[in-house]
Amino acid sequence: MDLNLDLVEPGGLTSQIPAGAPFRLVLNVPDPSTLLRPGEGLRVVLPHYHGFSMASVPQETRESSPGYTRLLAAPPGSVLELPDPDVGALLLEDTPLSFAVRLDESPVTTEPIGVIYGFGKAGAARAQALAIGPASPGYRGFECWKIDSAGRPLRLVARADPEFVAASPRRLEIVAPTVVRPSAPFHFRVLVKDGFGNPALADLRPLEWMPAEGAPATDSSQPRTSRTSWISVRHPGITAPGVYRFAARCGKITGKSNPVRVDSTAEAVLFGDLHVHCGQISPDGTGSLQQVFQYGRQLEGLDFVGSTDHDGDVTAGSWQLLRERLKQENLGGDFQGFLGFEWTPAYSWGHRSVIFPGLEGEPIPCGRPPGDSPEGLWQGLRQYGALAIPHLPSAEIIEHHLYDWSHHDPELERLVEVHSQWSPGKWKFMAQDSETNPRGVQYALTLGYRLGLIAGSDNHSARAGRTGGLAAAMLRRPGREGLWEALRSRRVYGTTGERMLLDFRTDDASAGEESPSRTGPVELTLDVHGTAPLDRVELVKGWTGATVPLEAVHVVRFPPELLDGQVSWTDPDPLPEAFYYARVFQRNGGLGWTSPIWFNRPGLEVPLRESSRTRAWSNLPLPSGWKAGSWYRPSRDPIDLTQPGPDGFTLDLEMTQVPDRSDTVRMQYFHVRGEPLNLTGGKMHRFRYELRGQHPGVVLVALLDEELRNPGFFAVLELAEGRLNRKVEETFRCQAATAPARLHFFFPAEDNRYQVQGLTLEAEQGEE
C-alpha cells in the first residue's frame, strides 16, 4: 500500500517531539485508487491522553495559528473535514482531535492526495504536556484510518509513533518536609522540570543555595551525578523555631521551597494523592503501576499515594500485581502506598475512590452484586475498615459525576474530594464547581454529613501529584497508623497542588473535629503559610438545611507579597448547630480548603431570620441573534434554526447519521449560541425561559466566554415523557472577573424539535 504518514520538524523527518515544539504531520497518498472507493476517505486521529492535550485543534482559517491544515493535493471532489471551530473539543477536552479527507461518489482517480497538518508558521504546536514513549503502557501515536461513506472506521492503514520527550529545563522545584523538629537534620528533594511539568535532565552539580535567615547553609556538594531530574540534599537542621523557605539556583533557573515549620510540638503534615490511574490497568490511562508510586515518591516528593484504577478494569492478576508492588514500596517506611480502586457506576450515585488501610481487601465491581448499589459496596468494604471517598461530586448528568447523596455511610465516607484536575479551569465547559454546585460538597455538608475536605489528581498517566490537587493529613503520631488515623479522623485539608500550611482551629477542636463545648462563643483562628503571596481568606458558615451555595461570612484580604497570615474571628450570630471551614486564595491562583469544624451550642437563642433577603432586579439586553452548529463540521445532518423573536428560537434536528460512541470523531451534540452578553462580575443574575421538546432528551445550558470558560452558570434539563415542557428560573452569581459571555444550548444528536421561548435576563441591583 502506497501511503505515508510522516512527522516533520524544522530539521526534517523526526521520531521525537519535544513538549511544546512545532511540528508538521504529512499525509501522502500517491495513488488513492489502490486504497479507496467512491465516498470513502481517510481520517487521521491525533494522540490524546486522559488530561493532556498533545496537539492543536486542526483548523484552516488562521495560517499564523497552531494547527493550520491544508489540502495540498487531491482529486476533484475531495473534501477536507475539520472540527467545528466554534465548538471544537468543547464538551470533552479528551476527545481525540482528528481531520479527514473524503472523496465524493465520483470514480476514484489516480491523482495523489496530500494533507499537511501544522502547515503555517506556528506548526502544530500546542501544550504537548506529556513526555511519553512507545514503550509505555497505554501509548498512542498518530493513526490514519480508512473510513466508509458514513464516516465509520474500517481499518487502520498507517501510524506514526514518535517519542514525546521533555523540553528544556524551565523550573526548579524544592520539596521539603513541612514540619521538622529543632536541630533535627532533614532532606530537600530538588526537582528539575520543563515548562509543562515533565522531569527534565539537567546538570545539578552547580546547585547554589540561598539559606534562610537564621538557618545554617545547605550542603550543595552532595549531588553524585551530573545530568539527572532530581536529587536529595541533606540539611543539617535548624535550631530556632519558625517558618522558613529555602531558595536555590541552578544555572538560569531558580526555585523556592514550600514553607517549613520548625517546631518541637506541631503536628506533622504529610502531602499525598489518593486518586491515581495507570495504563497498565486502565485502558484510558498510560504508564505503569511501578510508576504510580515511584513518580509520586521520587519526582513529586509525596508522602503517600493511592492507586485507584476503575473497578471494571481491575483483574485478579492486576490486583495481585498491585499488592506485590506495595510490598516492594515498604509500607512501614517514610513513604506510604495504598491499595485501592475507583468504584465507577455510570450515570448514577457517583464515583468513590476506595482506599484500604493495608494489603487486605478486594475490588468490588459496580456491575455485579454486591457492588451494584452503594449499600452493597458498603457491605463489601466494612470488613476491611476501608475509606470510600466521593469523587468530585457534581450535578452534571452528561458525565458520570452526578451525585445522589441519599446513599451515604458515615463510617466509610469520612472524606470528600473537593478538587481534581477536572475542576474548573481544566474542563472549561464543565465548570460547575464541585464545592458549591447543587449536589456538591456544600450540599452534602448541609445534609448533616461529617466530611473532611481533600483534593486529588485523578491523574491517568501514573504521575501521582502532577496534576489536579493534593491531600494534606495532620498526624498526631508517626507512621502508617498515624496517617490512617488522621485520614479517618478528618484531620485533613485539600489544595490545588500547593504545599501550603493551614492550621484551622478553635480552642478545643481542629479542622475535621467537633467542638466538645456545649456553651460559649464560636471563636475561630486560621494560621496560613503560603507557597506564594496570599490574596485572601474566606470563612464559610453552614448548617443542616441551609441553602446552597453557602456564602463567606468573613473575608480577610492581605497586602501584596505577604506569605504568612493569621485570621481570628468570633461569630456575632452563632446558631445552636453550625459548621465552619476556610478557603485560602493565593495570588498565583492556588487554593486551599480546610475541613469543617462542627459546633453544637444547644442553649443559644436563634435570632429571627428571613428565609431570603429581598432582591431588586432589572432587565438586561438579550442576545440579538442565535447561531446553530454541530460539534464537527461539515455535518450532513439537517439543522433548521428559526428565530421567533429576541426572546427565543426553534431548532429542528433531522438525523441522517447514527452517533457511534466507538467512533470518537462522530458528532454527539448540536449547539445554539447567542450574541455576547455583558455581565457584571460578582453580581447575582437570573435567567428565565421556557424549554419545549417534541421527544424526551437532555439539554445542557451554559454561559461561556470567548476562551470557553464558564463565568458561573451551568444547567442540565431533562425532558421526559409527560414533561416535555419546562419553565425554568435559574439564579447564579457571576464570577468576579469575566469577559463578555455567550449563552449556549447543547442538544443531543437525536431527531427532535426544540423551542426556547420567553427568555429574559435580569441582574440584581445594589451592592453585594
Structure confidence at residue 428 (pLDDT) = 47
Q: Which residues contact 61 (CB under 8 A, 6 or more apart)?
A: 85
List phi, psi (to 5°) of 21. Answer: -80, 150
Structure confidence at residue 394 (pLDDT) = 76
Q: Which residues contact 255 (CB under 8 A, 6 or more apart)?
A: 171, 172, 173, 174, 190, 247, 248
Q: What angle do CA 546, 552, 556 make, to 5 degrees?
A: 160
Q: Tell me the helix, strand and coil percentages in the chain, rounded to 5.
A: 5, 40, 55
715 confidence band (pLDDT: 50, 70, 90): confident
Q: Is 758 left (phi over 0), alpha (psi -120 to 50) or beta?
A: left
Q: What angle do CA 662, 89, 420 make, to 5 degrees?
A: 95
Residue 465 CA to residue 299 CA, distance in Å, equals 9
pLDDT at 547 over 50: yes
Q: What angle do CA 406, 441, 532 make, to 5 degrees?
A: 165
Q: What mean pLDDT do residues 200-221 have? A: 74
Structure confidence at residue 737 (pLDDT) = 60
Q: What mean pLDDT do residues 373-401 have? A: 84
Other C-beta atoms within 10 Å of 48: how many? 20
Q: Which residues contact 161 (CB under 8 A, 6 or more apart)?
A: 134, 139, 141, 142
Q: What mean pLDDT do residues 718-728 have? A: 90
Residues 258/178, Cβ–Cβ less than 8 Å: yes
Least confident of 322-331, 449-458, 749-758: 322-331
Pick from 602, 574, 580: nearest CA to 593: 580
Q: Which residues pair with 30 in a beta bridge?
A: none
89 confidence band (pLDDT: 50, 70, 90): very low
Q: Which residues pair with 308 in a beta bridge?
A: none
Query: Which of 533 and 664 is assigned the larger pLDDT?
Result: 533
Q: What mean pLDDT do residues 372-386 have? A: 94
Residues 485/477, Cβ–Cβ less than 8 Å: yes
Could you tell me how many residues make up the chain?
768
122 confidence band (pLDDT: 50, 70, 90): low
At 696 the three-state DSSP class reads coil
The C-alpha cell at 538 is 474566606
Structure confidence at residue 427 (pLDDT) = 45
Least confident of 144-148, 222-226, 671-675: 222-226
Residue 131 CA to residue 143 CA, distance in Å, equals 19
Residues 415/452, Cβ–Cβ less than 8 Å: yes
Structure confidence at residue 255 (pLDDT) = 92
pLDDT at 104 over 80: yes
Residue 616 CA to residue 485 CA, distance in Å, equals 50
Q: What percent of the chain is modeled with pLDDT above 90?
A: 52
Q: Which residues contact 277 (CB under 8 A, 6 or more apart)?
A: 50, 284, 285, 307, 308, 309, 310, 342, 458, 459, 460, 461, 462
Residue 759 CA to residue 690 CA, distance in Å, equals 7
Structure confidence at residue 258 (pLDDT) = 96
Pick from 733, 579, 667: nearest CA to 91: 667
Q: Which residues pair with 534 in a beta bridge?
A: 586
Highest mean pLDDT among 92-101, 114-123, 579-588: 579-588
pLDDT mean across residues, the chain:
86
DSSP H helices, 478-619, are 479-488
Highest mean pLDDT among 101-105, 233-237, 574-578, 617-621: 574-578
Other C-beta atoms within 10 Å of 527: how many? 16
The C-alpha cell at 452 is 473532611
Taking only the tens place, the pLDDT of each residue in 178-198 is: 999 999 999 989 999 999 899
CA 147 to chain centre: 33
Pick from 473, 593, 584, 594: nearest CA to 533: 584
Q: What percent of the chain is modeled with pLDDT above 70?
A: 87
703: amino acid identity, one letter: L
* Domains of the chain, CATH where assigned: 4-165 (2.60.40), 171-262 (2.60.40.10), 268-497 (3.20.20.140), 502-609 (2.60.40.10), 617-764 (2.60.120.260)
Residue 706 CA to residue 728 CA, distance in Å, equals 25
- Secondary structure, 3-state, 477-505: CCHHHHHHHHHHCCCEEEECCCCCEEEEE
User: CA dihedral defined by 83, 88, 93, 97, rounded to 10 degrees?
Assistant: 10
Residue 274 CA to residue 416 CA, distance in Å, equals 11
CA atoms within 13 A on the CB side of 324: 8
pTM over 0.75: yes
Segment (H or E) for 445: helix 441-446
Q: Residue 259 burial by CB count (10 A; 0-12/13-18/19+): exposed, middle or buried?
A: buried
Residue 652 CA to residue 641 CA, distance in Å, equals 6
DSSP H helices, 501-623, are none
Residue 533 CA to residue 504 CA, distance in Å, equals 19
The C-alpha cell at 480 is 502508617
The C-alpha cell at 647 is 426572546
CA 130 to chain centre: 15
Q: Is 88 left (phi over 0), alpha (psi -120 to 50) or beta?
A: left
Least confident of 173-182, 271-280, 624-633, 745-754: 624-633
Structure confidence at residue 766 (pLDDT) = 67
At 670 the three-state DSSP class reads strand
Residue 353 CA to residue 305 CA, distance in Å, equals 12
Residues 335/175, Cβ–Cβ less than 8 Å: no
Q: Which residues contact 24 (CB under 8 A, 6 or more apart)?
A: 7, 8, 9, 116, 117, 118, 119, 123, 124
Residue 73 CA to residue 76 CA, distance in Å, equals 10
Structure confidence at residue 629 (pLDDT) = 80
Residue 360 CA to residue 384 CA, distance in Å, equals 7
Q: What mean pLDDT do residues 693-721 have? A: 81
